[in-house]
């Protein structure tokens, strides 16, 4: 029997979680939660890029079996998909959720109830998907859920466009960080999500996440307990910049980084607006990216079956 205890339990017992909740709540008054720094008063219902005011929106929640192997195990990852997004890639595969806002507003108490439900269903973790714009709501809900018996690892599953100040609020709360690292080239980031600073922000965020939790650690059954699990979606024609991105991870983060080099790009949303993104990923492009990762020193790779639709 594992003796692992999620970080947030001790943080709550020490009274630190309530302090983090208070600090995060203040940030909503002139919102600077993410690098967009919209400075709208979300406490008064104003919204910025993420189109989210005081309360979070959830599009769905379930035991998910399509996530990485260390998260899924036998019983699935307890995913909570938040509506809206602070990054808004124009080719998003969840375009109806991130751009169109499909979902329902939930109170912090309801969000806590979802966590307890997923835990009681046997899920190995609570996996917050696209959480960067709702950190205060998550912190508040976690406190409520702890009091109700929550005791599984928390996964922060973000697009990598995260503020260092906000990430520091999550220290001692999040057990597993699962960021995307989407683009190396600022011009590609600008065209894809109007965030030319994305590569710089993602580098800083990944370093901070690793400082907090280190490399991925699993239990005797291979289930993730703590650490970094990195995602990188390979784009056609090398537009994601896989080689320099993996070189950065190997040289400035850790060669022991657990990474999922993902081949499932498909042209969704407004992908056709960017030259090179109007077609599915080819097997050759994926194999080139995978080879680049290994050659640059990243060899701890997720081993799920990879499927392609060739055009």
Of 2-11, 80-89, 251-260, 285-294, which range is least confident?
2-11
CATH number for the domain running over 7-43+65-295: 3.20.20.70
Which DSSP string do the residues of 4-39 spell out, in sequence order? ---HHHHHHHTTHHHHHHHHHHHHGGGT-SSTT---
Q: How far apart are CA 258 and CA 240, in angstroms?
A: 18
Give the pLDDT score at 2: 59
Instruction: Please enumerate, by residue number, every residue annotated as part of a binding site.
Output: 85, 89, 92
Count of other CB atoms within 10 angstroms of residue 27: 18
Give the pLDDT score at 307: 46
How do residues 287-311 score in pLDDT, each as one tens digit? 999 999 999 999 999 976 444 444 3
Around 299, how many Cα atoms within 13 Å sit in the side-chain half-sphere? 2
Does the structure show a pLDDT above 90 at 138?
Answer: yes
The chain-wide mean pLDDT, for the chain, equals: 94
Give the pLDDT score at 62: 96
Does the structure show a pLDDT above 80 at 205?
Answer: yes
Q: Please, where are the H alpha helices in the chain?
A: 7-13, 16-27, 69-72, 95-98, 108-120, 135-147, 164-169, 186-193, 198-213, 242-248, 283-295
Q: If you ran DSSP here, which 8-state letter would residue 253 be given?
A: I
Tell me how far CA of residue 217 lies from CA of 53, 213, 255, 297, in angstroms.
36, 9, 14, 19
Instruction: Please enumerate, by residue number, every residue annotated as part of a binding site for [4Fe-4S] cluster.
Output: 85, 89, 92
How do residues 108-133 score in pLDDT, each as one tens digit? 999 999 999 999 999 999 999 999 99
Give the pLDDT score at 311: 37
Domain extents in the chain:
7-43+65-295
């Amino acid at each position: 029997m594992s003796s692992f205890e999620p970080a947030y339990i001790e943080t709550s017992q020490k009274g630190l979680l309530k302090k983090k909740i208070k600090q995060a709540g203040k940030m909503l008054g002139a919102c600077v939660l993410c690098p967009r720094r919209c400075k709208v008063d979300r406490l008064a219902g104003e919204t910025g890029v993420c189109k989210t005011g005081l309360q979070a929106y959830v599009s769905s929640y379930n035991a998910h079996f399509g996530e990485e192997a260390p998260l899924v195990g036998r019983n699935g990852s307890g995913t909570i998909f938040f509506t809206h997004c602070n990054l808004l890639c124009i080719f998003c595969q969840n375009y109806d959720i991130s751009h169109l806002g499909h979902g329902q507003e939930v109170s912090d108490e309801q969000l806590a109830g979802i966590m307890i439900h997923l835990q009681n269903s046997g899920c190995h973790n609570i996996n917050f998907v696209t959480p960067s714009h709702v950190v205060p709501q998550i912190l508040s809900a976690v406190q409520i859920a702890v009091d109700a018996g929550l005791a599984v690892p928390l996964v922060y599953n973000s697009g990598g466009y995260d503020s260092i100040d906000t990430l520091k609020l999550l220290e001692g709360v999040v057990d597993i960080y699962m960021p995307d690292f989407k683009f190396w080239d600022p011009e590609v980031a600008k065209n894809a999500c109007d965030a030319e600073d994305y590569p710089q922000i993602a580098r800083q965020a990944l370093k901070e996440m690793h400082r907090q939790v280190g490399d991925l650690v699993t239990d005797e059954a291979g289930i993730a307990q703590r650490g970094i699990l990195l995602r990188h979606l390979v784009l056609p024609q090398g537009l994601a910049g896989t080689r320099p991105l993996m070189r950065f991870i190997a040289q400035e983060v850790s060669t022991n980084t657990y990474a999922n080099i993902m081949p499932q790009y498909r042209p969704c949303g407004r992908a056709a607006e960017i030259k090179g993104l109007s077609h599915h990923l080819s097997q050759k492009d994926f194999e080139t990216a995978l080879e680049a990762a290994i050659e640059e020193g990243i060899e701890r790779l997720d081993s799920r079956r990879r499927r392609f639709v060739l055009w």
